[in-house]
């Protein structure tokens, strides 16, 4: 059997939720990943030092038998410098959501007035706190990310020392932004390396493939694949794995999110192997992230094997991507 080893895999965009859902999904990531950037859009959001500390404690309690580092984030608000100085050693980044644009983002930013944001973003620049951004407007759904490029340009030029992560990019336009501004970086999900909108709604609606940002056009998929497969040094893997109970996905108000955490590495191996680029997967799932964020995860070696693996129908109340289907790679061991 063909095998492939990955060292210290990192998921640089992960939703763990809280309570019972946290206890269900956190061990699935902790098993095969050394660490992950944890999203702060709980209810209420993680926007205080106490909330950061408490949430990290709950995460660690859910994964007692695996080494796993939750890299914590704050929900973006216009914080003052003194507060950021007090929390800088407890967080890895701050996550900005445009108000109401996705799950639990109602308290996000409603106006990108750089003067209102200046104190926070200049302090983040000085303290070397990266800004992670869900980059969508509230325009036509297929154009929302492309329309947000002007905001990225504004932030990147106004705050040139600020490290800005374009989260879960889905368009050719976002890929092209990477080489225009030195301080722009990006995460890419596994499902956006596979899906176009046609896969989601081209036939029968597939609720477990519905996410925000929604999958786009074939030319966007090609651009994402190209930049990921070559392991561009400014891109890294971020699953945006977003668990919802089955009843919340299979409903008339279908919740946005694709649950990929337990099978992400296997599918990535399948993709990179298919295109003859397995040698670049290590950089995409770990090395680039370590360089961009300046983090040093403890050692974990994941051995994957090229053999059929049937994806479980459920993990607790959550239905994963490819539920009940056979994929081409499986995890053989984790050391």
Structure tokens at 317: 């109340």
Helix residue ranges, H only, 210-280: 218-229, 246-249, 264-274
Tell me the three state secondary structure of residue 130: coil
Structure tokens at 206: 């597939």
To the query of whether residue 240 is one of the catalytic residues in this protein, the response is yes
Active-site residue (options: 47, 113, 222, 240):
240
CB 327 within 8 A of CB 270: yes
Tell me the C-alpha distance between 159 and 171, whole Å: 24
CB 197 within 8 A of CB 216: yes
Cα angle for residues 195, 21, 5 (degrees, 5° grid) = 55
Backbone angles phi, psi at 170, to 5 degrees: -135, 5
- Active-site residue set: 240
């Amino acid at each position: 059997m063909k095998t492939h080893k990955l060292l210290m895999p990192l998921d640089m965009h992960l939703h763990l939720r809280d309570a019972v859902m946290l206890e269900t999904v956190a061990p699935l990531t902790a098993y095969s990943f050394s660490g992950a950037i944890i999203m702060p859009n709980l209810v209420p959001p993680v926007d205080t030092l106490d909330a950061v500390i408490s949430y990290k404690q709950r995460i660690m309690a859910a994964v007692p038998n695996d080494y796993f580092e939750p890299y914590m984030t704050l929900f973006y608000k216009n914080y003052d410098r003194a507060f950021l100085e007090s929390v800088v050693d407890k967080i890895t980044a701050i996550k900005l959501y445009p108000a109401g644009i996705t799950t639990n983002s109602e308290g996000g930013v409603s106006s990108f007035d750089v003067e209102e944001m200046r104190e926070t973003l200049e302090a983040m620049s000085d303290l070397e706190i990266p800004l992670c951004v869900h980059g969508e407007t509230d325009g036509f759904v297929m154009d929302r990310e492309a329309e947000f490029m002007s905001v990225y340009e504004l932030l990147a030029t106004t705050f040139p020392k600020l490290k800005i992560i374009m989260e879960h990019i889905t368009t050719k336009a976002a890929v092209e932004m990477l080489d225009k501004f030195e301080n722009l970086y990006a995460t890419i999900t596994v499902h956006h390396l596979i899906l176009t909108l046609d896969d989601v709604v081209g036939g029968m609606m597939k609720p477990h493939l519905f996410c925000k940002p929604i999958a786009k056009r074939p030319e966007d998929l090609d651009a994402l694949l190209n930049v990921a497969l070559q392991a561009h040094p400014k891109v890294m893997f971020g699953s945006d794995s977003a668990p919802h109970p089955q009843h919340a996905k299979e409903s008339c108000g279908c919740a946005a999110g694709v649950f990929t955490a337990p099978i992400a590495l296997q599918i990535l191996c399948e993709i990179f192997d298919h295109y003859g680029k397995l040698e670049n997967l290590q950089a995409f799932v770990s090395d680039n992230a370590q360089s961009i964020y300046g983090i040093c995860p403890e050692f974990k070696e994941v051995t994957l094997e090229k053999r059929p693996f049937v994806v479980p129908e459920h993990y607790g109340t959550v239905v994963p991507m490819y539920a009940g289907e056979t994929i081409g790679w499986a995890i053989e061991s984790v050391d």
